[in-house]
Structure 1
Amino acid sequence: MSTAGKVIKCKAAVVWEPKKPFSVVEIEVAPPKAHEVRIKILASGICRSDDHVLSGAIKANFPIILGHEAAGVVESVGEGVTSVKPGDKVIPLFLPQCGECSSCRHPRGNTCKKSERGEPTGLMDDGTSRFTYEGKPIHNLAGTSTFSEYTVVHEDSVAKIDASAPAEKVCLIGCGFSTGYGAAINSAKVRPGSTCAVFGLGGVGLSVIMGCKAAGASRIIGVDINKDKFPKAKELGATECINPLDYKKPINEVLFDLTDGGGVEYSFEVIGRTDTMVAALASCHMNYGKCIAVGVPPSASEMSFSPALIFTGRTLKGSLFGGWKSKASVPRLVSDFMQKKFTLDPLITHTLPLEKINEGFDLLQAGKSIRTILIF
C-alpha cells in the first residue's frame, strides 16, 4: 500500500535536552510539502558534530532528531520536485545547493544561502516541523535529521546517487569522508611533494590524510593524543604520527624540528578546538604555509593569535564540507567510490541498529570508534 500523501509512523532517536541520552520512540512524519522530499533512511553514520550538539557545544533547539550523514531511498515527493522521484537512492545534504544564490553561482562557493547560518531554527522553510511526537513538534538538524527511519528534506538538500551504491558505506560521503578528503583536494589544493600535518585522527582527519595522499604529498604527519589511532592513520597514508603529550615543547615547535626548521606547507585542524587551530597555524611555514580549519568549533568559542603568525604570508582558511558543491559533487564522489578510486571500508569500525544508538555514541566519546554506522 502506498504511503504517499499520508503521515508515516516510524522509529526515531530523539534527544529531549542537551547532555541526555537518546530515546528511541515512535514519531509521526508528515508528508512532504512543495519542493520537499520524504526519504526512507537505510544507513546513517554517527559524526562528531552530532556529539557536539548532544553535549551542548553547538547550539540547537530541543527536542531534536540528530543525524546528517546518511543514504536512503525516496519514498515520496512534494509538488514541484523534479530532481528526484520515488524509488531513487539518495544522500541527504546538510549543506544545500539551490543553484541560484551568489555562493552557488560562484565557481568556488559552496555555502548556499539556504544553509543554516547563525542561530539554527531546526524547522523547514515554512517555519514548521515535519516531525511530531504525541502531537508536539520535534526540531530537525540542518534540515536532514537522519536518525529516523523516515525524514523530510528540501529538494535542494538531496542528491540522487547510483542505485547500486551500498548505503552502509556511501552514507559517509554525506559528511565525514567528503569533508576531510575535500579539505585537502579543494580547500588546501595540496601540492605534489609537499609536507602536511593533520591534527586529529578521527574519521574526518583520516579522510584528510587520504586526500593528501591522493594529491601527491610526500610527507604526511598525523597528530593526536590517542596513540591507538596511529596504525590506521599509517595504513591510509600517514608517513609518521606524533603524540603532543610525548614532548615538553609546544607541538608547533616539534613540527618545526621535524621539518628542519621550515614548518609544514599544509596543516589541517580536524578537532574543532581553538587552541589547536592556533597551533596548526603556527606549525606552517611562515611564508607560504596554509592552515585549513576543518573541525567544527563550539558555538561560543573565540580565537585570538598574534598578527605576526600571518604577517609574513601564512594563510588560515576555513573549509566546510570540503569545499564541494553538494548537490553537484556528491553523485560524482559516489561514482568515484564505485569505480574504486578511493575506499571507505577502513573508516567504518562498527555497525549497530538504531536501537543501540547510545552505544554508538559511547564508542565515539571513548575514542574506540572511527565511524559507527546505524543500519535501519
Structure 2
Amino acid sequence: MDGIARISSFFLLSVLLQSSLNSSLGSAQSIISAGKMATAGKVIKCRAAVAWEPDQPVVIEEIEVAPPQASEVRIKIVATSVCHSDLYHLLQSMHKDGFPTVLGHEGAGIVESVGSGVTEFQPGDKVIPLFLCQCKECRFCKSPRTNQCERAWTRVRQEIMAGVESRFTCKGKRVHQFMGTSTFSEYTVINQIAVTKIDPAAPLDKVCLLGCGICTGYGAAVNTAKVEPGSTCAVFGLGAVGLAAVMGCKAAGAKRIIAIDINPDKAEKAKVLGATDFVNPKDHNKPIHEVIAGMTNGGVDFSLECVGNVEVMLSALESSMEAWGVSVIVGWTDMYDISIRPRHLICGRTWKGSMFGGFKGKDGVAEMVKAYLEKKVRLDEFITHNMTLDQINDAIELMKNCKCIRAVMTVSPQ
C-alpha cells in the first residue's frame, strides 16, 4: 500500500506541476497576445535618430512607424551599434537623395508583429535585421558560389544606400530606411527575407554586432580568402572589421598574422584576437608592402584590406606573395577608382572582393550567433563603449575620431 500511495502522490504532484506550468505558459502567451493586440495593425509613434541632411548631427525625433505589410516584420530594436558604413553615408558619400534617413544596420531586437503571409516569424522572436537579404529562392541564393541575393538589388537603392520602400514618416515627410533596415529607431519594419531568427538565449546587446562588421571581417578570412592552416596573413586596418578578420585568420589556423594600422593603440587588442605581429606604417621610411615582403620572404599568403581606401587596397595586394598570394578587398567605398599594372596579377596573385564576409544572410548570421554562444567566436572584446540612443552623436564622434571599436547603444528595454 505504501508503494501505491507513493505512486499516487507522485502522479498527483505531476498533474499539479503540469497544470501550474500550463497556467504560467498561458499567462506568458496572454501577455504576448495582449502586447500584440495593443499595437498590431496600428501606427507606432516612437523615437529615432533622424539624419535630416549630410554632414550634420542626427536628431532624436518622434517618428511614425507604419504596420508591417505583406511579407514584412515589425521589430522592436533592443540594441544597435555604429558601423563605419553609417559614417560613410553621413560624412563621406553624402548623396543628397539619401536624406532624410534613419541610419543603423547593426542591430538586434524582438518581433512585435508580422504582416500577412509571414510564417517564419511570430511576436516575441529574437531577430537580427540584415542589410544583405536571403530570399532562398533566386538562382544566387541557391548557388554555393555567392552569398548575394537577386532581390537585394531590387529592394535597396545602392547609390543612396536606402530601401526602395519605407514605413517611416516624420513631421509629414517620408524618411528613408538606411540599407532597408534602420536600427537607430525603437521600431523598424523589414521584409522577412532580410531578417533572421536567432537563439532565444542570445544577448541582444552583444549579438547585434553580427549584423555587419564582425561577420564581414571574420567571413572575409574564412569564407572569401579561405585562409589555410599554417599560412601567413596580413590584415590592413584594425577597426571592428579588421579585428574580426584577424580573429578569422586565427580560427582558420594561420601561423603568422601581421596586423597593420597607423594607430598603435590597436596593437594590444589585435594580439588578444590572434595577431602575432603589429606594424605601424608610420614607423617605416619605405612602402608598407616592402616592409611586409621583408618580414615574410616575399609576401604573405593572404592579405585583407579592411579600410575602404583604394591606396591601401593596392598596398594589400602588393603585400601578398606574387606567385600565389590571395588579396581580399573588404573595406567599402564607391567614391574612387583603382588601377594596377597587369604584372601584379599575371604571375599568379588572386584579387577578390568580399561582401558581408561571404555569409548568406539568414543562414550565416544565425550560425555566427550559435558560434558565439558556444564560445567559438568573440564579441565582447569588440565593445569599447555602452551608451544609449540619446548619445548617438557622441557614438558617431567616437567612431569618426577612431576612439572606439564598437559603441553599443541600448535602444529599447527587452
The structural deviation recorded for 1:102 is: 2.0
Deviations along 1:86-110, one digit per CA (max 9) or x if unpaired, are 1100000000001122211111211
CA distance in 1, matches of 2:138, 2:255: 38
Which residue matches 1:133?
A: 170
Query: Please, which runs of 5 or more residues in structure 2 have no aligned partner?
Result: 1-34
Secondary structure of 2:50's aligned partner: strand
Which residue matches 1:67?
A: 104
The structural deviation recorded for 1:117 is: 6.0
Residue number among 364, 371, 374 corresponding to 2:406 in the alignment:
371
- Residue 291 of structure 2 aligns with an amino acid whose one-letter code is V
Matches within 5 A, 1:51-200: 51-57=87-93, 59=95, 61-115=98-152, 116=156, 118-120=158-160, 122-124=162-164, 128-200=165-237
The structural deviation recorded for 1:57 is: 2.2
- Residue 57 of structure 1 aligns with an amino acid whose one-letter code is S
Whether the 8 Å CA contact 2:324–2:350 is kept in 1: the answer is yes
Secondary structure of 1:26's aligned partner: strand
Whether the 8 Å CA contact 1:71–1:89 is kept in 2: the answer is yes
> Compared with structure 1, are the counterparts of its residues 148 and 183 closer, same or farther at alpha carbon in structure 2 (3 Å cutoff)?
same
Which residue matches 2:57?
A: 21
The structural deviation recorded for 1:197 is: 0.3
CA distance in 2, matches of 1:316, 1:244: 22
CA distance in 2, matches of 1:73, 1:108: 32
TM-score calculated relative to the size of structure 1: 0.97
Deviations along 1:92-132, one digit per CA (max 9) or x if unpaired, are 000000112221111121111122364347244xxx42000
Secondary structure of 2:93's aligned partner: coil
Whether the 8 Å CA contact 1:129–1:138 is kept in 2: the answer is yes
What is the percent sequence identity of the aligned residues? 54
CA distance in 2, matches of 1:224, 1:123: 34
Matches within 5 A, 1:227-242: 227-242=264-279
Whether the 8 Å CA contact 1:263–1:285 is kept in 2: the answer is yes
Secondary structure of 1:229's aligned partner: helix
> Compared with structure 1, are the counterparts of its residues 117 and 294 closer, same or farther at alpha carbon in structure 2 (3 Å cutoff)?
farther
Deviations along 1:138-158, one digit per CA (max 9) or x if unpaired, are 001111000000001000000
The structural deviation recorded for 1:58 is: 6.2
Secondary structure of 1:105's aligned partner: coil
Query: Please, which runs of 5 or more residues in structure 1 have no aligned partner?
Result: none
CA distance in 2, matches of 1:143, 1:212: 31
Whether the 8 Å CA contact 1:123–1:143 is kept in 2: the answer is yes
> Compared with structure 1, are the counterparts of its residues 132 and 117 closer, same or farther at alpha carbon in structure 2 (3 Å cutoff)?
closer
CA RMSD, aligned part only?
1.2
Secondary structure of 1:258's aligned partner: helix
CA distance in 1, matches of 2:290, 2:162: 43
- Residue 173 of structure 2 aligns with an amino acid whose one-letter code is K
CA distance in 1, matches of 2:148, 2:201: 29
CA distance in 1, matches of 2:236, 2:81: 22
Deviations along 1:274-315, one digit per CA (max 9) or x if unpaired, are 000001000000011000100001x22111111110011101
Which residue matches 2:371?
A: 336
Whether the 8 Å CA contact 2:105–2:212 is kept in 1: the answer is yes
CA distance in 1, matches of 2:94, 2:220: 21
Whether the 8 Å CA contact 2:157–2:163 is kept in 1: the answer is no
Secondary structure of 1:263's aligned partner: coil
CA distance in 1, matches of 2:160, 2:89: 11
Whether the 8 Å CA contact 2:111–2:121 is kept in 1: the answer is yes
> Compared with structure 1, are the counterparts of its residues 218 and 311 closer, same or farther at alpha carbon in structure 2 (3 Å cutoff)?
same
Whether the 8 Å CA contact 1:183–1:294 is kept in 2: the answer is yes
1:327 matches 2:362 = yes
Secondary structure of 1:56's aligned partner: helix
Which residue matches 2:258?
A: 221
Whether the 8 Å CA contact 1:108–1:323 is kept in 2: the answer is no
CA distance in 2, matches of 1:222, 1:120: 33
Whether the 8 Å CA contact 1:272–1:294 is kept in 2: the answer is yes
